Amino acid sequence: MPTTSALPPGVPATHQAVATSGLRAPLQIIDVPTEAPGHGHVLIHVSWTSSSPLELHQADGGLLVQQHPYILGGSFAGTVVSLGPKDPTAPAAPRDRLQPGDQVFGFAFRHDREKGFQTYITTPQRSVSKLPPNLTPQQAVTVSTNLVTAMHTLTTDLGLQLPWPVPGDWSATNKITPTILVWGAASSVGLYALQVLRYWGYNRGVIAVASSRHHEELKRLGAAACADYQTAGVVEKTLGLADDINVDESKQPKIPLILDCIGSRDGSLRPITKIAEPRSKVAIMLPVINTYSSSDKESLPEYEMDVSRVLSGEWKKGVELKGTRTHFYEKNEFFKFHLQPDIIPALLESGAIEPNKQRIIEGTTLLERAQKALDLLRDRAPSGEKLVWRVADDGNIDDTQV
């Protein structure tokens, strides 16, 4: 990243970051350089972040981790400190969109300097959304990672059209919608997927699978019907619901589009093998979890990144399996420059998308809060909520005066 700017007065040359120390080992705090923003980049003082299963997979299973220490975190909410020069290759993201002092949030992941579990990040402006006036940073930090995942999966892996802006005649031209199964609909990705499908008019055919205690909420967010994965006969129940809501009885397969928001070999994929038919598309959150991490076990979790190798003898011939890779969403050039800067804040400000419920993780230090959140993920405690915690709680800089 070419740098032609310098750190503003009052910004420390180094700052704290939460990093791994080894597989299943306690997290640690390390000091890392604070990088001035280069072309098209922005320096942000991070106030809040949220934890996701990916951090657990990295800390306990070493997923995609080349060496330790490894800085964690993909989500952030904070304050713009300074901007680098305009990126001439990105005319869709003008430099004056952001200004020092702006409250922002987003999803970034490419380099250590962008990871959310640290007090300062330097990231491309295209990874940043301005905070709408109707949201708090604690709410906003639940959004970007999982909403980006939902929209990327629905378009890239399942082939749905999500035009932006939505044409005025879109509802009239989109009368026939496919039956869509969202397994794990009460997960963060699932909750956003339901809302995206509702906003773009696909909700008439959506079946949501989740614990029954979430069904009322899932129907409010757009599900046409719900099934409980914890009950016997969930496969038969789901197929029966598909018969009830199928808007085009001539269509085969019965459920052409399936989104697995869990990616568990035994918990979600095995029942889905009994639902998916030839020509069904199944998008699976990666990694596939063969064995979960647990505080009660000495053994390491086991993951699989190649969906074709999971239950290979149990899928019907002709089922199309897709492994979802959120970090590839920028291959869609429109999403690359518009999804986070334009689309996400507009959806939130209009109320079309509402953020996940939050559980605020308390602690006296950055490390304590990060470790508590990781331990809760390890215990599989969150349900229908996002773990949110404070990052920067120091008084080294007055963000509004930079």
Average pLDDT over residues 352-358: 97
pLDDT at 140: 98
Domain boundaries along the sequence of the chain:
14-143+355-401, 147-327
105-161 tens-digit pLDDT: 999 999 999 999 999 999 999 999 999 999 999 999 999 999 999 999 999 999 999
252-267 tens-digit pLDDT: 799 999 999 999 999 9
pLDDT at 215 over 90: yes
Q: How confident is the model at residue 195 (pLDDT cuts 50, 70, 90)?
A: very high
Q: Map residue 288 onto helix, strand or coil.
A: strand
Answer with the residue of higher pLDDT: 273 or 90.
273
pLDDT at 90 over 70: no
> Across all residues in the chain, what is the average pLDDT?
91
**Do strands 41-51 and 385-390 pair parallel, antiparallel, or not at all (unpaired)?**
antiparallel
Burial of 166 (0-12, 13-18, 19+ CB in 10 A): middle
Q: Which residue has the tokens 């929209």?
A: 151
**H-helix or E-strand spanning residue 285:** strand 281-285
Share of the chain above pLDDT 70, in %: 91
pTM comes to 0.93
Average pLDDT over residues 290-300: 79
pLDDT at 345: 98
CA atoms within 13 A on the CB side of 175: 3
Q: How confident is the model at residue 248 (pLDDT cuts 50, 70, 90)?
A: low
Average pLDDT over residues 186-202: 96
5-29 tens-digit pLDDT: 689 999 999 999 999 999 999 999 9
Which class does domain 14-143+355-401 fall in? alpha beta
Q: How confident is the model at residue 173 (pLDDT cuts 50, 70, 90)?
A: low
Average pLDDT over residues 42-68: 95
Architecture of the domain spanning 147-327: 3-Layer(aba) Sandwich (3.40)
Average pLDDT over residues 178-195: 96
pLDDT at 397 over 60: no
pLDDT at 242: 94
pLDDT at 232 over 80: yes
pLDDT at 250: 58
Average pLDDT over residues 57-69: 93
Q: What is the DSSP string of 238-265?
A: HHHHHHHH-S-TT-SSSS-EEEESS-BI
Beta-bridged to residue 94, according to DSSP, are: none
Q: How confident is the model at residue 381 (pLDDT cuts 50, 70, 90)?
A: confident
pLDDT at 91: 56
pLDDT at 396 over 70: no
pLDDT at 382: 79
* Of residues 183, 229, 222, 227, the one with CA closest to residue 205: 222
For residue 287, say if its preceding peptide bond is cis, omega within 30 degrees of 0.
yes
